Structure 1
Amino acid sequence: MPTPFFADLVRELCHEGGTGPLTPTGAVPGHRRFADAVPADTEFHYAIAGIAQSGEWEVGTGRLDTAGRLVREAVAASSDGGGRVDFAPGLKTLALTVGAGWFAAHDTAVAALDAADDALAAAIAAKQPLSTAHPAAATGADDDLLTVRRGAGWVNLPLAALVRRGADGRVGIGAASPAQLLELAGGSPRMRIAPAASEQMGGIEIVTNGAHDASFTARGSTGELNISVGRSPGWGGSIRFITDTSERMRLTAAGSLGIGTDAPAEKLTIANGNILLPMSTDTAGALLGYSEFYPATIDGVRVPVYGLKWAKPASESNPHAILAGHGGAWIVTGGNVHLRVLQSGIVSPGADNGQPLGAAAHRWSVVYAGTGAINTSDARDKTWRGAPSPAEMAAAKRIAAELGFYQWNDAVAEKGEDGARLHFGVRAQAVWAIMADEGLADPVGIGADPTSRHAFLCWDRWAEERDAEGRIVRAAGERFGIRPDQLALFLIAAQEARLAALEAAA
């Protein structure tokens, strides 16, 4: 890069303004005049600094004309955003200096020259030493040596360590006598296929008589591995997975996968085995396709069943299962059958009169049935107490007066008062209060859980429920209820007693 003229301690005053040449008017004390130090028409770096107008400044390259004026040719930086400043008339200084940009450019140029020198030295050092002329040979021997660069020096490699091609056309990498057309030998040999770009496909293709038979390919941009078999649609073929000399799995041309069978009948066929679905590190997981003779908890008979079984943790002796077999299907929890679907279509609990349907906090919204529920009323199952007491009769009469229409709050919220349906019945708390007032139940709200010997009065509580992350999915709560059938019969008894009293008085 060109070096502008430089001289020390050149600084003068100036009073002119404008964008054109500026005339120096005398040296600043302790400095020299431009005319005494700088040849005319010679490029140099200048700096103009306003004194009367301190906000005006400019640096760049220029020259002195024959009249001794500073001609500003190239502005490097200025108070006008890098443009030529239109200086106001008034005192200012003109100085010969070196701009900061020139130093930076000079350093860059020097660094580039140094790098070029280093590259040239490395290129020269990497050249293989000059060898003398040697006779030619048609084949190589294992102990032949090849000189190669290693680090800062040179080493001789035996030809046995390189790719070898025998007279039969077989190629060996690390193998002096390859047993196949291509053999890789040595410690943990690998073959790498590197496409030119990540979006391109690389792999191995197997061709017979010029036709594609199979291939193993991969594409870097999608991370996909493709295993292909078949020359064209309808050609057939399958992919077999063999271990210990035996076929373990087969993917047919139709896309069916068989494990333990070479003729899968469905998209996935598993023969003579189960599928284990682990749930976590401390579980036994789930067995899909599970098959065994289940214990004698299914009608006391050992029967073969099939389905899904799982247990948590692995040491649990009473697993859960969904099973099907001779006679129907079963849902098992904790090692016990809790729901059965028989071949006849009957859905029944796992044991007679041993489990509820729903719970206080897990209710069914509607039950559709062709006929009403049948409740056991066998005299052999009952201890008979007799007719209602006077207190019970009095309570029944008062409860009858509480009968009325109502709407469910959630239905009103969803459909509005005009859309929510009208139901007829009682309010459980009102019935409970009447029974308590007649001395037949504990009052509600005395700090203890409500209790009553009369089964048509119901009260349940439930605990808080949380999900696996500890979030509350159902808050703790409690709810009152009644058994309508028993309450209706209770009120009928009171009505009958009232009619009998009226008839006796007539």
Structure 2
Amino acid sequence: MAITGLEMAELVRELCHDEGAGPLALSGAAAGYRRFADAVGAGAAFPYVIVGAGDVPQWEAGSGVLNEAGRLVRSPSASSAGGAAVDFGPGEKRVTLAPHAAWIAAVEGHGHDVAGIAGLPEALAGMEELGVAVEAAAQAIDGLGQGLAGKQAASGQLDAIAALSTTAFGRSLLEQGDAGSARTRIGALGASGVQRMGGAELHINTLTGEAYPTEGWMGRVSVLGPAVSVVMDGGQGSFRVVGTGALANNRLYRANGTLAARADIVSGDVIGDYNVWGQIGGDFVELSRVRTTYVGAAPATNNLASRMNFYVGRTGSSAMQETLRLEHQAITAFGAVAPSSDNGFALGNGAARWSAIYAASGTISTSDARAKQDLADIDDALIDAWEAVDWRQYRFGEAVAAKGDAARTHIGLVAQEVRDAIDARLGMGTAVRLGLLCHDRWDARGAETDDDGVVTAGRAAGDRWGLRYEECLALEAAWQRRRIARLEARIAALETSA
């Protein structure tokens, strides 16, 4: 290894059924040989020679190492691809740890005479003799084939075999001694294992007489039949769709008519259900359901109105109960809606407000004495400052832009005027420390386009002032009560003096 930096070992050869020009997965030692992982040190480089067994000659020689996954990472020095890494195709390949021209050149480059290395000339001569013997064996096999050709007329089966136009891969199947060897040769496991089809498409048709359609939406794996089942006995059952570098899709298609003569859906058609079932009482029963229904009045590519319904089971009933319904710009809940934690989330925000809230009664705010501290009478200075706040009438600018003169007039307060009135009497920054005044800011956000091309508009950075009207009205009431109390005191004083 000191001469070339490459580790040598005897009787190292593995088979390979992997493909491509990158690192190759090795399938295990050939009969009578050792695996690379058992013969060379971890991370050590070694000379290799790869010979393909297909009809198109493919070979490669170079230096390689095994990566953490046990794959052969190749650095070719010569190959059937002009010295580049060979893009090996399907079929068996033999990967051998052996000296080659580049290795010998490296030895000679260090000033070593190959012929002077003890035992190497004899080994190379032996390899040459072995090559002569292999050639002689090949000629003998050809002669045997010619001899058998004259005897095939006596066997109808041999006639059929002789008429076949087979490749080297096909002939290699005929050489297998049993079914297990044949399955190993084509890369498939037995009936109790996983069936593998490298680089192939898998189509399963359980409908007699139905031909596969040719539309592009039929993928590389397709099943034509009434049901597809994934069963796990004693483990977790799962159906997974994995996308690498692109969106992973799990799609349900629905059409009316037949597969050969499809027809459009109509309003009210249920397009698909996603159901979850569990065994209760010895049989499977439905526990939840997500349903999509087409609700457009006139089906068209620009009229895709649909509805999603969510159902769950409930105590005291065997039927699914609808809990949530989603439609365009509408969410309907069939029950109470509550946050996942108490006092932890807001409904909307400063940049995304609800336009109106319809309620049969007013909101209920926490007023429990146990939740409050620092209880005190309202400061007279704050009530004095409130006296400078004016109630106003106004119209909203957005409403005027949308409705013109039809925009309605509102009565209320202006947040900045409330702020300025309080700060002018109690000091700058006092108002924002009161709960009745709110100031929200938000960052800019660019437009976003989802995978279906739907664009969500962006927004500029901004801010907005607001008021908690219930607190403003409470302060207004305190000012009115104090004013009335003072007036009553003056009246009482006048009556007494009279």
Tell me which interval the TM-score lies in, with the shorter structure as reference length. 0.3 to 0.5
Please give the TM-score of this superposition, normalised by the length of structure 1: 0.38
Please give the TM-score of this superposition, normalised by the length of structure 2: 0.39
Higher relative contact order (CA 8 A, sep 6+): 2
Name which one, 1 or 2, has greater alpha-carbon Rg: 1
Structure with greater strand percent = 1
